[in-house]
Amino acid sequence: MPRIYADNAATTKISQTAMKAMISAMENSYGNPSSIHQIGMAANDALQTAREQIARCLGCMPKEIFFTSGGTESDNQAIMSAAMLGAKQNKRHIISTAFEHHAVLHTLRRLKEQGFDVVEHHPVTAETIEEEVAWFAKAIGKNEIPSDGLVLVYDDIAYGQSLGTTAKFPRDSFAFKWADEIRETTLLEIEWSPSRTGLINPVAVFEPVELEGTTVSRASVHNISIMEELELGVGDTIQVYKANMIIPQIAENLTRSGVKDIPTVCPVCGGTTKISMENETKTLYCTNPKCQAKHVKSFALFVSRDAMNIEGLSEATLEKFIFHGYVKDFTDLFHLDNYRDEIMTMDGFGEKSFLKLQSSIEKARKTTLARLVYGLGIPGIGSANAKVICRALGNDSQRVLQAEEAELVEIQGVGAVMAKSYVDYFKEQEHQEIFKRLLSEVELEEEEVTEDSQKFAGVNFVITGSVEHFANRAEVKAEIEKRGGKVTGSVTSKTNYLINNDVNSTSSKNKKARDLGVPIISENDFLEML
């Protein structure tokens, strides 16, 4: 009878291809790769070649590949390295499951002995389940890490998987949710918070209470229908909790004084509001198409890495600043210090966070004209286009402001549609004024001009696959744009070069390039072009 081997999870029969490679290595590259003699250096070359080949297959850098003796050592190394890195950041809590391989469990046991906080696992039976759940319910109150419940799973994975799933849930898992912690407090005000869609959301502001280990003073009410259902009025006594121990919610209104004073104007722009009924839900909207709250995306672009590069201003933070009236146009971002005290009292902000933000803003004052133009969010004008236009206009802010369509279409890489979009933007008096005010806020740095700054002018590149000589593809892109070139995401008839270290790859981009006659060059070929 033919023999059937069913323990491949532990060891697997080596393939003939791998065996031949191993025999060759043992016959010809048997030296110590750390030695400097000839055989040792040959072994080191073979090792590095293998590392590079594997990295190329995985799409990573060779230095990211580590060779171990097997799965157990790999598990040990990965877990220990992650734990040590976490410890340096004062993160010593480790979460895993009870049915991991011993290579994992034994390592976790060792880390626990070293002072790490490894999550508790308690095997249970039908007889002990209630006792164990009660133990966790009591213990969790003393745990520094919040928990919204407990999950029980079968220790027989195959059996559990055989049970299948419902439309939403697996049948091999059981979830216990802890009773929500509820606190009683007083409603101080209803704050109306506009969003980027024009929707104005009611937010309940109440006397601060401690919930699940944190101080809570705000909860979204979502819409007018919920307000009316709860009969919310200022001064009411309400009960609040954290849904899933995370999101503050109003559980009940004990006094129900009734809804009143729904705003007739937007708190941000002063535009007229209207109440809409959608899906049997009453919602409040701002009718002003130019409401600042609707333009969060434009502010997010302005502060992005390729534009002004102001760290610490997420969309959520920008929304808060817009709502409170701290930010009405781009120039206001440079004067947030006027609201220092108010910002430092906001959720998620303190003195340290504010000072860090202020430092980033001051750093952003030194920028290039191209970054500033890109940050304006002119339709169709990307980062590379902004560089090309500003460079062609001599990095002269006045010429940038007053450029005509005919002048722009003469610039290589700028078409009629892009030129029209650019000119239409600056035709608006408001945009002109904002640009002029921004110029007074920043110090424009001269772009680095080199002999080959226009070497790739009019040349379009596409970059794909992994890189070896650069940290990432973004660095390759930067080198191209620094020399006047442009990088796009897909191969077209306008593409001049496709950069791919795997020149012979059968990928879709390589195939498209061959079909269009676009040269496929390696990273080394590209470096020779610099």
Instruction: Give DSSP secondary structure letters for 466-515.
Output: --SSSSSHHHHHHHHHHTT-EEESS--TT--EEE-S-TT---HHHHHHHH
Q: Is the pLDDT of residue 49 over 90?
A: no
Q: Tens digit of pLDDT for each residue in 258-282? A: 998 899 998 878 889 999 887 678 8
Identify whether 375 is part of a domain. yes
Q: Residue 144: what pLDDT?
A: 66
What CATH number is attached to the domain comprising 338? Answer: 1.10.150.20
Q: Which of 227, 260, 286 is the last residue of a domain?
A: 286
Q: Is residue 11 part of a domain?
A: no
Mean predicted lDDT score pLDDT of the chain = 85
Predicted local confidence at residue 197, as pLDDT = 64
Q: 522 and 485 in one domain?
A: yes
pLDDT > 70: what percent of the chain?
Answer: 95
Q: Are residues 321 and 298 in the same domain?
A: yes
Query: Per-residue pLDDT averaged across 324-352, rounded?
Result: 87
Q: What is the pLDDT of residue 173?
A: 82
pLDDT value for 167: 60
> How far apart, in whole angstroms, are the C-alpha atoms of residue 481 and residue 387?
8
Give yes or no for residue 450 having a pLDDT over 60: no
Please determine, for residue 237, whether its predicted confidence score (pLDDT) is greater than 90: yes
Assess whether 276 and 213 both reside in one domain: yes
Contacts of 145 (CB under 8 A, 6+ apart): 93
> Binning pLDDT at 50, 70 and 90, where does residue 150 land?
confident
Q: Do the domain assignments include residue 179?
A: no
**Residue 24 pLDDT more than 80?**
yes
* More confident of the two residues 293 and 175: 175
Q: Has residue 129 been placed in a domain?
A: no
- Look at residue 245 in the predicted model and tell me its pLDDT: 65
What is the tens place of the pLDDT at every residue in 183-225?
A: 999 999 999 987 756 788 899 999 999 887 788 899 989 889 9
Phi then psi for residue 407, to 5 deg, are -70, -40
Is the same domain home to 431 and 356? no
Q: Are residues 204 and 274 in the same domain?
A: yes
Say if 314 falls within a structural domain.
yes
Q: Same domain, yes or no, for 281 and 330?
A: no
On whether both 214 and 277 belong to a single domain, the answer is: yes
Domain count of the chain?
Answer: 5
Residue 490 confidence (pLDDT): 79
In a domain, 123, yes or no: no
Same domain as 298, residue 282: no
Provide the residue range defining the domain that includes 30. Answer: 16-61
Q: Quick check: is 161 in a domain?
A: no
pLDDT at 118 over 80: yes
Q: Looking at residue 481, which CATH number applies to its domain?
A: 3.40.50.10190
| Judgement on whether residues 282 and 244 belong to the same structural domain of the protein | yes
Across 43-57, average pLDDT:
87
Q: Is the pLDDT of residue 530 over 80?
A: no
Which of 286, 301, 320 is a domain's end point? 286
Sign of CA dihedral 114, 120, 121, 124: positive
Task: Looking at the structure, tell me whether residues 228 and 244 fall in a common domain.
Answer: yes
Indicate which CATH number applies to the domain containing 210: 2.40.50.140
End-of-domain residue from the set 333, 364, 395: 364
The answer to pTM > 0.75 is no
Least confident of 247-251, 418-422, 449-453: 449-453
Specify the pLDDT at position 404: 92
Same domain for 32 and 55 = yes
Same domain? 301 vs 332 = yes
Does residue 507 sit within a domain? yes
Backbone angles phi, psi at 276, to 5 degrees: -110, 150
Provide the pLDDT for residue 448: 60
Report pLDDT for 387. Answer: 86
